[in-house]
Structure 1
Amino acid sequence: MRALQCDRFGPARQVALRACAEPGQPGPHDVLIEVVYASVSHAVGLMVEGRYQTRPPLPFTPGTEAVGRVAAVGERVTRFNPGDPVVAIARWGCFAERILVAEHTVYPVPDGLPLLHALPLPISYGTAYTGLLWRCGLQPGEAVLVLGAGSGVGLAAVELAAQMGADVIACASTEAKRDTALAHGALAAFEPGPGLANAVKDLTQGRGADLVVDPVGGALFGTAVRAAAHGGRLLSVGFASGDLPDVKPNLLLVKNLTLHGFFYGRYIGWTPADERVTHAPALQRAMATMMRWARDGRIQPRIQQVFPMDGLADALQALHGRQVVGKLALAINNKEEIS
């Protein structure tokens, strides 16, 4: 089969498309998937460069999220049959024509939902959904400020918070990203900068945001703290800016703010303890809800552009250029896309 292979940590240009060994037959709880599309993310770029918190053994095939059809299943797998359309999460390996994945992080794609629309749900939407509900207990009517609202996780947070009944305020760096956030459920959208806190307070009659979702980090986090309501919550889910936020504990103290660090990887097997089996039932229920919402048009997962299988470096360059709205994907084998 064909797969992208990384022989050494470094720039994405050195990742090569090669003929590689097949993944083998499924174990008792495994699912073999014929991959149609795989998503491209900042985490993939960091992993290729050797700067992610997990370093795969070399050589390895990158890619953490894929959609396609089931080719074969292990003897104890009861949720899937060959031919079923599915989307899956893996620690790596998705930039290959076939991938073997534990059934616990494989999710059925319902009839009527195109594969490409299902692709962003497990990681970007899964991160936003579990962060908003499981970590922060979002309630209808709360004001939610989403930083980086044009990113994969940011746009997912906008859509899901709105679907859950929150009043969503988006913050994004370009007019196109702000317009997209408004089209996906935000009530207002502002650019980042020193005026953000005042704009949020003006919109909320002086109260501020009950919950701030931050996938960006860096200096913007300090502005977001000032935009938060007294007794509000801050959800830190990543550092797309490349810089860690400078947290001022005195502001957390005087405003009675709660800072929630959130690592979605805990629920999907990306920690040394590999807790995916423990969390699989709850995450499968959450994924089924989001699949249904996507099929019914209540949320609209967005893939802005699909690159050819050997276009990883170009996709990451586009992602780092901060002009991408939503997510990007590689076409692994889309000759027979399932709708």
Structure 2
Amino acid sequence: MRALQCERFGTVQDVQLVNRDEPAAPGPHEVVMAVAYASVSHATGLMIAGRYQTKPPLPFTPGTEAVGHIVSVGTAVTRFKPGDAVVAIADWGCFAEQVKLPEYTVYAVPDGLPLLDALPVPISYGTAYCGLLWRCALQPGETVLVLGAGAGVGLAAVELAAQMGAHVIACASTQEKRNEALARGAHGAVAPDANLAAEVKALTGGRGADIIVDPVGGELFGYAVRAAAHNARLLSIGFASGVLPTIPPNLLLVKNLTLHGFFYGRYIGWTPSDERAVHAPALQRVMETILGWARDKRIRPTVSKTYPITELSNALGALHSRQVVGKVALTIKPETTP
């Protein structure tokens, strides 16, 4: 089978297309999946560079999220059979025509939902859903300010918060992205600049946001904290800007703000203790809900562009340009039904 392989940590130019054997037979709680499409994310480049939280042993195949069909299942697997359409989270390995995975982070794609529409759900939408509900206990009627609202986790948070009954304000870098967020359920949209707090307060009658979702970090976080309502919750889920935010502790104090760090990786096996089996029942319920909303078109997970397996560099370039709405993906092998 064809696969992208990283022989050493470095740049995307160090990733080569190779031919290698298909995965061995799955263990009792494993499945083998034929990959149709695989997501490309900011974490992809970090993992190739050896700078991500998880550092795979060399050589390795990148790719942490994929959609396709089951090829074979282990003896203890009861949720799937060969031929089932599934979407999955992996430690790595998805930029290959087949990948072997623990069953715990593999999810059924509902009938009527196209494979490519299911692809962004497990990581981007799973992160946003669990952060909003599990960490911030979002309530209907609250105001949610979403930073980085034009792509990935940010756009997912806009859709999900609106679906849950929140009043959503989207913060995105271009008018095109702000318009897209408004089309996905945001009630207002603002630019990521020094006027952010004033604009948010103007949209909320001077009150500010009850929850601030931050996948960006950097200087923008400082602007956003000033847009927080009293007793607001701040949800830090990533640093797409590449810069860690500086938190003004005086504002945390005088406004009674709560800062929540949220590492979704804990629930999907991306920690040394590997807790994915423990959290699998709860996450499977989450995925059933979100994938059902996608099937029913209550949310619209979007892959804005796909690239051939040979064009990982172009896919990462598009992502880093910040012109992407939604996600980008590699086409691995679309005809995957065994």
TM-score by length of 1: 0.99
- Pairing 1:125-140 to 2, within 5 Å after superposition: 125-140=125-140
- Give the equivalent residue in structure 2 for 1:165: 165
Q: 1:63 to 1:336 in 2, by over 3 A?
A: closer
1:52 and 2:78 equivalent?
Answer: no
Task: Give the conservation status (yes or no) of the 8 Å contact 2:306–2:329.
Answer: yes
Corresponding position of 1:4: 4
After TM superposition, give the deviation of residue 22 of structure 1 in Å. 1.8
Runs of at least 4 residues off by over 3 Å: 335-338
2:222 aligned with 1:203, yes or no?
Answer: no
Q: Does the CA contact (< 8 Å) of 2:200 and 2:208 recur in 1?
A: yes
Structure 1 residue 150 and structure 2 residue 150: aligned? yes
What secondary structure, in the 3-state scheme, does the structure 2 residue paired with 1:77 have?
A: coil
* Residue 287 (structure 2) aligns with: 287
1:21 is displaced (CA, Å) by 2.3
**C-alpha offsets along residues 255-277 of structure 1, whole Å, 9 cap, x if unaligned?**
10000000000000000000001
Looking at structure 2, the residues matched to 10 and 323 of structure 1 have their Cα atoms a distance apart, in angstroms, of: 24
Whole-angstrom distance in 1 between the partners of 2:327 and 2:88:
16
C-alpha distance in 1, partners of 2:113/2:206? 41
Distance 2:335 2:292 in 1: 26
CA–CA separation in structure 1 for the residues paired with 2:264 and 2:34:
25
Residue 335 of structure 1 deviates from its aligned partner by: 3.3
Structure 1 residues 304-335: Cα deviation after superposition (integer angstroms, max 9, x where no partner) = 00000111111001111111111000000013
Where do 1:1-339 residues align within 5 Å?
A: 1-335=1-335
Which has the higher mean CA deviation after the structures are superposed, 190-199 or 260-269? 190-199
Q: Once the two structures are superposed, what CA deviation does each residue of 1:83-110 show, in whole Å capped at 9, x if it has no partner?
A: 0000000010000000000000000000
Note closer, same or farther for the CA distance 1:286–1:71 as it changes in structure 2 (3 Å cut). same
1: CA distance, partners of 2:208 / 2:41: 31
1:171 deviates by 0.2
The sequence identity of aligned pairs, in percent, is 70
Q: For the residues of structure 2 that align with 1:177 and 1:7, how far apart are their CA atoms?
A: 36
| Structure 1 CA distance for aligned equivalents of residues 192 and 315 of structure 2 | 25
Letter in 1 for 2:23: P
* Gaps in structure 2 of 5+ consecutive residues: none
What's the secondary structure of 2:99's corresponding residue? strand
Q: Deviations over 1:288-307 (max 9, x none)?
A: 00011000000000100000
What's the Cα RMSD here? 1.0
